[in-house]
Amino acid sequence: MKARFVLPLLLLVGACTAAPPPRYLVGDPYSMGGVWSYPREDFALVETGLAARQAGRGRNTPTANGEDWSASRALAAHRTLQLPAVVTVTNLENGRSLTLRVNERGPVNPGRVVGLSDRAADLLGVPAGGGTQVRIEVDGERSRALATGVLGRAPEAVAIETAPRGVVAAESLDPLPGARAAVQRAAAAPVVAPVADAAAPPPNVVLPESVTNGTPSPGRIFVEAGILSRADAAQRLAARVPGARVEAFGPRRDQRFRVRAGPFATAAQADAALERTLAAGVSGARILVD
């Protein structure tokens, strides 16, 4: 008699412990690899740096926003982007580009700008050791469509223009304020709300694992300690970073100052310089390619 209740009980337990659905995530600041990261929504991000393989992830492992991670799918991890997002990653050393889904936080190494699944790394030609020069560009249109189709993101406000008024040929005057007829007319007037004519976004964005071959365009590797609006502040920051210098850029009326060390011949040299910079208390330092 007891045996016949075992299967329903197991089904009930399984139903109670089912994983929550994937959700849209920006998230709070967090510490990873000894460095704090500050997530923010950004649909126009373009940045360069070094790529790494996202290690230690098995098949169907839950990601930061509740999706599934698999080394056999073309996926990526980013420290600050909204999750999920759609980005195009270009290997600057061989010219290959791949558009893929970002659904995880990482990489752990603060000197790497993106973490790639094994499948994505293989398609892009990023070796197991990582340290490959890459450029990342967020696909704003597809990222917005993807974000809207996931639970947890508030809909964006839609700007509604005022409809043009036609020429009034004749009109009847309203009663004086406070008159009984005025009160009755106000109570009877219907409230008309504008309706946005927008098609429902797709619940998901399908990204084919299609590699585009372009021209290799490797750059020089730098460690950037920060960008400031005042030259004196930039000089004080440069004094804390071994081998750093101040570079002015932008129009004279709105000139800014970046503090950089490098260029470095190898990723290993840049890693060592970044480690020294972080040890000096410059937490916002990063490796980039220019």
- Summarised one tens digit per residue, pLDDT across range 221-234 is 999 999 999 999 99
Q: Is the pLDDT of residue 53 over 60?
A: yes
- Summarised one tens digit per residue, pLDDT across range 270-280 is 999 999 999 99
Rounded to the nearest 5°, which phi and psi values hold at 98?
-145, 130
Q: Is the pLDDT of residue 135 over 60?
A: yes
**CATH number, domain 20-151+204-218:** 2.40.40.10
Mean pLDDT (the chain) is: 81
Q: Is the pLDDT of residue 193 over 50?
A: no
pLDDT confidence of residue 204: 54
**Cα three-residue angle 50-38-206, rounded to 5 degrees:** 65
65-74, 110-119, 193-202, 211-220, range with the lowest pLDDT: 193-202
**CATH number, domain 220-290:** 3.30.70.1070
Model pTM? 0.76
Question: Contact, 209 vs 216, CB < 8 A?
Answer: no
Tell me how crowded residue 25 is: count the other CB atoms within 10 A of its CB.
21
Q: Is the pLDDT of residue 75 over 90?
A: yes
Question: Closest by alpha carbon to 99, among 140, 131, 66, 38?
Answer: 140
Residues 283, 112: Cα–Cα separation, whole Å: 15
pLDDT confidence of residue 155: 58
Where do the domains of the chain lie? 20-151+204-218, 220-290
